[in-house]
Structure 1
Amino acid sequence: MVKHVLRASLVSSLSVAFMAGCTVTKSVNNAQQVAPTNTPKNIIMVVADGMGPAYTTAYRNYVDNAATPEIESVVFDDILLGNASTYPAKVSGYVTDSAAAATALAAGVKSYNGAIGVDVDKKPVNSVMHYAKTKGMRTGLAVTSQIVHATPASYIAHNESRKNYNEIADDFFDIRVNGEPVADVMLGGGTVYFKREDRSLLSQFVNEGYEYVDSYEGLSSIPAGSDVIGLFAPVALPAVLDDNRKDRLAYLTKHAIKHLENDKGYFLLVEASQIDWAGHANDVGSAMAEMHDLAQTMEYLREYVDTHPDTLVVLTADHSTGGLAIGAGGDYRWSPEYLHNMSASARTIAATMVDEDMPGEYAAKQLGLSLTSEELAMLDSVSNQDEETRYAAVKTFLDIKTNTGWTTTGHTGVDVEVFAFGAGATSFSGQIDNTDIAKTIFTLLDSSALNK
């Protein structure tokens, strides 16, 4: 375990370590970097957790206008630059988890599955967010998971295990850069980790001058440029199909930027966290809804960069989840139209249908579908089973209707797509490794600092 003594030593010497040649700086120097064509003032890193190439193709078909002969392009098509390999350190084989992948994306270092901001020897490695902070930039994150989940955690914390949520939360306050917490703005879920019997980190952040908010609406009343910790759920945010904001990630991203903008620039991590969870669950309805939440965010960021051309946006996935297949069982068909009118997630439908007098009719209404008597009878027949059986039945029903296939409930080792636009975007072109993304951002941060 990364000891607090080691953390304290790291914190006190962080700025010096970067200049003196710490692990991260060495990895940057050893990388073959593409010289940026222009240098960004602001960098927004977007991670679509679990979004393998099949997800972007499926999303294009999901939103296709069936009334036209062509399949229209979507925002992802316009910004695609290349692909990235995702394998972790050799000790973990060829298939990464989110922690090792996030450590690679954040720090440019391959590590073992489960590692949060540490290398294979469990020694801390510093992220691009740490480095941006040493340059005087403002820093933040906006995610749909708990903010101590693997991806955001790897940009801030150092821990041998992604499961140590309370210790990771402590790092969000205890690890310091230039005497301040690593992130100036933190938006997502996770109240239970920051308001505990043994330690109220929320109180400590408030005493440090942070604004605390626990509702989406509350964000609008906070003055621009504030330090903010916004926690909108005990753990993760609801699935977007169940949330009262259907553009929750775009909304959080807009507000994060509002508080980060300043003359010295900023670094923002955005994560579409729950694409991965839908993939693990083999839940195609939630998968496409979470992809739409991401697409709305990318559309907003395209508009933002149009008016702020000194901003770089990079989007990639940490890995692919679920082995999503567009078409299954030898049938050359995929029918996403059956997903268009869902008003609740399959999980919520399964949880609540048991309380209904006519569970099949209730499920049909929530799915937005007109079902046959046989289909209604099937849904009625599972209503007295346990919740997991009901959930599996609703998901299977949607898989059959759409002809969706899955190969696993875990991750796969395929390469993922890399997208970028704005200042310095061409630095991410071609076939690269996930560590190259962090290494290039380190280089851009150095170039940006020289230009200030």
Structure 2
Amino acid sequence: MIYSKRKLLTTFTLCGSLLALSGCGSTSNESAQKTVAQNSAPNNIIMVVADGMGPAFSTAYRNYVDDKNTPEVDAVVFDDILMGNASTYPAPVSGYVTDSAAAATALASGVKSYNGAIGVDVDKQPVKSVMHYAKLKGMRTGLAVTSQIVHATPAAYIAHNESRQNYNAIADDFFDVRVNGELVADVMLGGGTDFFEREDRNIIGEFIDAGYEYTDTYNRLATVPKGSNVLGLFAPVALPAMLDDSRDNRLKYLTEHAIKHLENDNGYFLLVEASQVDWAGHANDIASAMAEMQDLAYTIEFLKTYVQAHPDTLVILTADHSTGGLTIGARGDYSWSPEYLHNLKASLGTIAKNMVEHDNPGDYVATTFGFDVTDEEIATLDSIAQQDVKARFNALKVFLDNKTNTGWTTSGHTGVDVEVFAFGAGHDDFMGQIDNTDIAKKIFNFIDNRNTTAQGISTNVELIKATDKKDGTNASCDFKENWRCN
């Protein structure tokens, strides 16, 4: 296959003065060195997005893990790092309720766009992300997600596309979009083999030829030499649901290994996404919602320990939006019973699929749920097995909603503000009520603080596109008029 190079010159200017960083409220037993680092601009920046995690999800998680033997609801890993809230609305053309693509574009670039936009503004013109800028400034860059890596959130940090649905074209951008001749991400971990190894293009092979280590299993990832450039795709599309995965801490595991390969004296930017909190919300699946929140909590616990050892690191955690309209308590009943969610041995999707293979499906479901059910409930579960798999899945969700007294208002997104959490160097900058675009703007400023003499930023974004001429000559293309330049 013949490739042609075309440089698209894009100039970005960061307006406004650099933010003055305040103290971070260090405790008395911290060393002076750590205090100085906490008050300084970070050398490493880790952006964690819990897709779909509205405020009700973090509250529900606190109740889910609470020890009922204590008189108070116990604090969780998120509570002491809460900074404030962020508004999430997209560009006016899309109203007040954002989708993941517009929200990711805002979080990545500081630019509001329309629902469905991947790294482009409302005029479908490319915008630069904080990952692009980090690469420009000589930092190593990476991502670790539980969705396919071409899904909306990770895509917006690397690719430019008018529609989040164009997965193959977005996968092309992962290799084709360059910052001063360099690939945007040094480490990419998640799912998505189907989009990178296709009949029309073998992008995995291109990454290997470019010097990247490739792995498709968790165990193989552990053997990759430290400091490598890595493409790790562990599923054809997304990773399995947390309740079904072979690792019960998959996001922590991917994050830990991403950091291992990104660490260097000049710093790094890492995007981490707990992608499937959102999918649980869309499905109104409280069991998976809490399992995915647990996976996120393991990751934040690891990152807190990491920041203690590396105080020049900033970690930001937020959501792109809230999904599902989760309510803790429902139908006028002032109660919630998360104990029914503690011992599930598989996701509801897997249970719904497998229950027809058992002679006594009700008993199978009860055993897999991990709690006692009545004879009447066993009979109800037996009757569910006679339905198709989608109906079985929905019936199991309703069963658990009734047991836990969980409510949902929608299968889509809601427009509520989301929580913002932060810890490490410069975390105080995220205090208060902000907008999702402010998060990207603050990260741009932190990266720029590594070179405070820069007033404006100019860089070339190279797009390497296959020619569409049979004779192999370069294809001319007007980027503005012909979006994909096909």
**TM over 0.5, yes or no?**
yes
Task: Output aligned runs, 1:276-315, within 5 Å.
Answer: 276-315=278-317
Residues 326, 405 of structure 1: 8 Å contact kept = yes
After TM superposition, give the deviation of residue 449 of structure 1 in Å.
3.4
Residues 18, 449 of structure 2: 8 Å contact kept = no
| Residue in structure 2 matched with residue 241 of structure 1 by the alignment | 243
Give per-residue Cα distances to partners, 1:375-431, cap 9 Å, x unaligned.
111110010110010000100000000000000000000000000000010111100
SS in 2 for 1:240: coil
Residues 19, 445 of structure 2: 8 Å contact kept = no
Aligned counterparts of 2:449 and 2:387: Cα–Cα separation in 1? 60
**Normalising to structure 2: TM-score of the pair?**
0.88
| Residue in structure 2 matched with residue 335 of structure 1 by the alignment | 337
Task: Output aligned runs, 1:352-431, within 5 Å.
Answer: 352-431=354-433
Residues 109, 437 of structure 2: 8 Å contact kept = yes
After TM superposition, give the deviation of residue 34 of structure 1 in Å.
3.9
After TM superposition, give the deviation of residue 29 of structure 1 in Å.
1.0
SS in 2 for 1:203: helix
SS in 2 for 1:70: coil
Aligned partner (choices 40, 48, 64) of residue 66 of structure 2: 64
After TM superposition, give the deviation of residue 204 of structure 1 in Å.
0.2
Amino acid in structure 1 at the alignment position of 2:246? N
After TM superposition, give the deviation of residue 9 of structure 1 in Å.
2.7
After TM superposition, give the deviation of residue 369 of structure 1 in Å.
1.3
| Residue in structure 2 matched with residue 35 of structure 1 by the alignment | 20
Residues 36, 444 of structure 1: 8 Å contact kept = no
Task: Output aligned runs, 1:125-144, within 5 Å.
Answer: 125-144=127-146
| Residue in structure 2 matched with residue 98 of structure 1 by the alignment | 100
After TM superposition, give the deviation of residue 178 of structure 1 in Å.
2.6
Aligned counterparts of 1:135 and 1:36: Cα–Cα separation in 2? 21
Aligned partner (choices 434, 437, 440) of residue 439 of structure 2: 437
Aligned counterparts of 2:182 and 2:293: Cα–Cα separation in 1? 34
Task: Output aligned runs, 1:36-55, within 5 Å.
Answer: 36-37=21-22, 38-55=40-57
Matched, 1:194 2:196: yes
Structure 1 gap segments, 5+ residues each: none
Amino acid in structure 2 at the alignment position of 1:9? K
| Residue in structure 2 matched with residue 175 of structure 1 by the alignment | 177
After TM superposition, give the deviation of residue 180 of structure 1 in Å.
1.6
After TM superposition, give the deviation of residue 33 of structure 1 in Å.
6.4
Residues 85, 414 of structure 1: 8 Å contact kept = yes
Residues 65 and 183 of structure 1: CA distance in aligned 2, closer, same or farther (over 3 Å): same
Aligned counterparts of 1:214 and 1:374: Cα–Cα separation in 2? 45
Give per-residue Cα distances to partners, 1:43-73, cap 9 Å, x unaligned.
0000000000000000000000011111110
After TM superposition, give the deviation of residue 450 of structure 1 in Å.
4.4
Residues 324, 404 of structure 1: 8 Å contact kept = yes
SS in 1 for 2:377: helix
Task: Output aligned runs, 1:221-232, within 5 Å.
Answer: 221-232=223-234
Residues 326, 404 of structure 1: 8 Å contact kept = yes
Aligned partner (choices 3, 7, 10) of residue 9 of structure 1: 7
**Normalising to structure 1: TM-score of the pair?**
0.94
Give per-residue Cα distances to partners, 1:267-303, cap 9 Å, x unaligned.
0000000000000000000000000000000000000
Aligned counterparts of 1:171 and 1:320: Cα–Cα separation in 2? 28
Amino acid in structure 2 at the alignment position of 1:49? D
Structure 2 gap segments, 5+ residues each: 23-39, 454-486
Residues 8, 175 of structure 1: 8 Å contact kept = no
After TM superposition, give the deviation of residue 35 of structure 1 in Å.
2.1
| Residue in structure 2 matched with residue 217 of structure 1 by the alignment | 219
Aligned counterparts of 1:244 and 1:93: Cα–Cα separation in 2? 40
Give per-residue Cα distances to partners, 1:55-108, cap 9 Å, x unaligned.
000000000001111111001101000000000000000000000000000000
Give per-residue Cα distances to partners, 1:341-369, cap 9 Å, x unaligned.
00101111001101110000000111101
Residues 89, 415 of structure 2: 8 Å contact kept = yes
Aligned counterparts of 1:360 and 1:404: Cα–Cα separation in 2? 22
Amino acid in structure 2 at the alignment position of 1:375? E
Aligned counterparts of 1:245 and 1:164: Cα–Cα separation in 2? 30
SS in 2 for 1:67: coil
Amino acid in structure 2 at the alignment position of 1:223? P
- Which structure carries more helix by proportion? 1
Residues 342, 367 of structure 1: 8 Å contact kept = yes
Amino acid in structure 2 at the alignment position of 1:260? L
Amino acid in structure 2 at the alignment position of 1:29? C
